[in-house]
Amino acid sequence: MSQIKTFEEACQALGIDPAKPLVDASGMPEKHRKAIEAHAKLVVIAEALNDGWQPDWSDEDQYKYFPWFEVEATEENRAGSGFSYTYYVISFTFTNVGSRLCYATSALARYAGETFADLYREYMLIGQ
């Protein structure tokens, strides 16, 4: 897990040439291009960090983990984005997206969120 610290190292682990573009986002509006490229990089990173683990979406008992971020809305409190982590939560969550960015363990999700925070920021926030 901690051996992969960069996108380039994730590419190396999967046999991908990091110098080649992963996607052609030129047909997208300018404000979304960085997000599309960041998403592609995060997919590679997640696959490399998960080291062969594939989520089984038909198995309700298999836990899947995602980094969770908090973003400050006011300028005086703004610090970019932060990482929020918890062991327990009482809530029901539902998502239709993000399945390629899930992790096998909470430790991996936390590591990815902290190590690749800038890439997640590009992916999640418009104009970053």
Helix axes 30-50, 106-115, angle to 10 degrees: 140
Residue 37: CB partners within 8 Å, gap ≥ 6? 22, 23, 25, 122
- Residue-level pLDDT at 96: 46
Domain ranges of the chain: 7-124
The H-or-E segment that residue 119 falls in is helix 117-124
- Residue-level pLDDT at 69: 84
pLDDT tens for the chain, residues 1 to 128 = 458 999 999 999 999 999 999 999 999 999 999 999 999 999 999 999 999 999 998 998 999 999 988 876 666 655 555 555 555 555 555 444 557 899 999 999 999 999 999 999 999 988 75
- Residue-level pLDDT at 126: 82
